[in-house]
Amino acid sequence: MTDHIQYSPEKDALILLDQRYLPNREEWFECRTTDDICYALVVMVVRGAPAIGVTAAYGCYLAGREVQGMDGDWKANLSAKLDQIHDARPTAVNLRWAVREMRRIWDEAGDVSLDELLALWLKRAREIQADDIEMCELIGRFGGALIDDGDTVMTHCNAGALATAGYGTALGVIRGAIDQGKKVSVIANETRPFLQGARLTAYELHKDGIPVKVACDNACALLMKRGLVDKVVVGADRITANGDAVNKIGTFGVAIIAKRFNIPFYVAAPVYTIDPETPTGDDVPIEDRDPREVTHIGDHRIPPEGVEVYNLAFDPTPNELITGIITEKGVLYPPYDLAIRKLFSL
């Protein structure tokens, strides 16, 4: 699955499979402006750290196209639009990485015209998209070697093809194990409140013919106690310098339970999800999303009117609960601060 993020030269638009409506229907969302890109990021038309990064890269290009039709200083207008994309969501480091990458290209290009800059940016956005697929396939190869034939793997949220440019990180590990000839089944935690596991992970795996069962988030402890889970593999929106992994809310709890039952807990993510500038998971800003995602299912309200809710979207899993971090460069093991420093010094 690699067609859920498409740049169309004919339409001069980024076309995204709208993940809000999966699995019941497949609809496409067209982004032509900076506002379109930011809206798609904020309401989760597209989500998942690597996919957010790819979208942001194309968003910078579209921002430049938009600036072509504006009056005034194009450099100042474009810089403001890049800031708008950079700030669309606070937690996933890939978004900021993509915008910084485009700014780096701009800085290194020097005194170029806007047309010349846009050509460079479109080329780089396409490279980022292709590179992400290649990185995920390598993550799958390294991670697949950690999965035994016959394993049942639990995952939380969606870290599959839909969350990347294709193939996936956590689900890439599943696909990698299957590519190595192993039989693997998956337990997809439903992942309240946005239900990425029940809607998106189950959709992907079922579409690929990979055995999957959906479990409510509260079932994790009992499933592990009964010996129904062999390993846990999740993705990450940011990994900090000490190896803490910030992922979808509830991941921390899954890791604690896995530790209690001696079940290996792996995090799968590309190297550019690692943020060596942020010391620990507690230093990462945690997105507080629209309460309606918790209070409503569709148009039906669950809690009484006037009752407040928490809708924190992510939590940091401390490094001591993580068995290994699977990247396209190989698997990192504790002590993670040393492993990450070594990785970035290569």
Whole-number pLDDT of residue 292: 96
Among the four given CATH numbers 3.40.50.10470, 3.40.630.30, 3.90.1640.30, 3.30.230.10, the one describing domain 139-345: 3.40.50.10470
| Domain ranges, ordered by start, for the chain | 5-136, 139-345
Whole-number pLDDT of residue 270: 97
Whole-number pLDDT of residue 2: 76
Whole-number pLDDT of residue 19: 97
Could you please report the per-residue DSSP string of 6-63? EEETTTTEEEEE-TTSTTT---EEEE-SHHHHHHHHHTTSS-SHHHHHHHHHHHHHHH
* Helix 34-42, helix 49-67: angle, nearest 10: 160
Tens-binned pLDDT, residue by residue, of the chain (346 aa): 779 999 999 999 999 999 999 999 999 999 999 999 999 999 999 999 999 999 999 999 999 999 997 888 999 999 999 999 999 999 889 999 999 999 999 999 999 999 999 999 999 999 999 999 999 999 999 999 999 999 999 999 999 999 999 999 999 999 999 999 999 999 999 999 999 999 999 999 999 999 999 999 999 999 999 999 999 999 999 999 999 999 999 999 999 999 999 999 999 999 999 999 999 999 999 999 999 999 998 899 999 999 999 999 999 999 999 999 999 999 999 999 999 999 999 7
Whole-number pLDDT of residue 266: 99
Over the stretch 51-84, which tens digit does the pLDDT of each residue have?
999 999 999 999 999 999 788 899 999 999 999 9
CATH class of 5-136: mainly alpha
- Which residues are marked as active site? 237
Residue listed under structure tokens 């420093």: 341
Whole-number pLDDT of residue 70: 84
- End-to-end, the C-alpha distance of the chain in Å comes to 32
Whole-number pLDDT of residue 69: 78
pTM, 2 dp: 0.95
Task: Give the annotated binding-site residues.
Answer: 47-49, 89, 196, 247-248
Task: Give the annotated binding-site residues for substrate.
Answer: 47-49, 89, 196, 247-248
